[in-house]
Amino acid sequence: MPRYRYLAVAAACATLLAMPAAVAQAASVRHATAAPVLTTGKVGGTAVSKGAVLKTGLAKGSTLTLGIGAFTATCKSASLSGKVVKNPSSAGKATLSITAGSISKCAIKGFSAPQISLTGMPYNATVSSGKGDPVTFSERKKSAPLGLKAVITVSGIGKLTCVFTAKSISGSFSNTGSSIAFASQKFALDKSASSADCSLAGASTTTFSAKYGPVVDTSVKHSPKVFVS
C-alpha cells in the first residue's frame, strides 16, 4: 500500500507541475494560429479585404469624455470610419486610414452644450495581433496632427475655441464586443489655433477616453463584426 500511495502522490505532483505549461500553451493558441490579423464573423474567420470600409460608434451604454482643465465634457454619441490599407495574412499589424469621425450630444455641467469635433484627418492607424491587441492612431503629417476642437460658450466672455492636438494616441482592441478602448489619452492645447482665454481658464491639456464598438465591416453583406486573430 505505501508503494501505491507513493505512486499516486508522484502522479499528482507531475500533473500540478504540467499545469502552468498547459495554461501558457492554451493562452498562446490564438496568436500562434496562422490567420489574418483582421477577420470577420469570428477570431480566425474570413479575412478583411484591403480597401474594406470599417465603421464603429460608441459602445452601448458608454460615453466619450474629455477632461478640459477643471471641467469634464461628456458626449453620448461618436463615430469613426476608416479604410483598410493592409491586413497581413498572419500575425503582425494591420494598417488603416481613419477618414471620418464625429462627436456629438455633449455637455459640460454649468455651461451651454459645447460643440466638439475631430480635426487633422485622415489619421494613420494600426491594429496589432500582439499581446493585448494594441491599437494606435497617429498623425499623417506634422502639419495635421490628431486634433480635438471644442467650442464652448462662457457667460460674460462669449465663445471660446480650444484646439488640442497629439502626435498619436494608444488604445486596445477587444474581441469581446469587437471594441476599441482609449483611456486618458493626453492632448495638448494648440495656443496658435485657440482663443487666448483657453489658457487663462486652465485648459492647457485635455484627456480623451472612449470605448467604440462593435467595429463592423460595411463592405460585406450584413456588416459583420471585426475580430483580431
pLDDT tens for residues 34-44?
Answer: 789 999 999 99
Domain housing 178: 38-228
Q: In this structure, is residue 143 part of a structural domain?
A: yes
As a whole number of angstroms, the distance between CA 71 and CA 81 comes to 28
According to the model, what pLDDT value does residue 15 have? 45
pLDDT at 61 over 90: yes
Q: In this structure, is residue 25 part of a structural domain?
A: no
Poorest-pLDDT segment among 95-99, 108-112, 117-121: 108-112
C-alpha cell at 82: 476608416
Q: How many C-beta neighbours within 10 Å does residue 124 have? A: 18
C-alpha cell at 57: 460608434
As a whole number of angstroms, the distance between CA 218 and CA 54 comes to 6
According to the model, what pLDDT value does residue 16 have? 41
Q: In this structure, is residue 20 part of a structural domain?
A: no
Between the two ends of the chain, the Cα-to-Cα distance in Å is: 51
pLDDT tens for residues 128-163?
Answer: 999 999 999 999 999 999 999 999 888 777 888 999
As a whole number of angstroms, the distance between CA 26 and CA 20 comes to 10
Q: In this structure, is residue 4 part of a structural domain?
A: no
As a whole number of angstroms, the distance between CA 63 and CA 180 comes to 13
The strand pairing partners of 119, in sequence order, are 147
As a whole number of angstroms, the distance between CA 143 and CA 120 comes to 8
Residue ranges of alpha helices (H) inside the chain are: 2-32, 196-200
Residues in the chain: 229
As a whole number of angstroms, the distance between CA 62 and CA 124 comes to 25
pLDDT at 51 over 60: yes
**CA 154-156-157 angle, 5° bins:** 60
Q: In this structure, is residue 8 part of a structural domain?
A: no
Number of domains making up the chain = 1
C-alpha cell at 36: 489574418
The strand pairing partners of 128, in sequence order, are 93
- How far are the Cα atoms of 17, 100, 127, 181 from residue 134, in angstroms, in the given order? 32, 21, 6, 10
Q: What is the pTM of this model?
A: 0.84
Residues whose CB falls within 8 Å of the CB of residue 170, separated by 6 or more in sequence, listed in order: 134, 135, 136, 182, 185
- Mapped onto helix, strand or coil, the DSSP state of residue 215 is coil
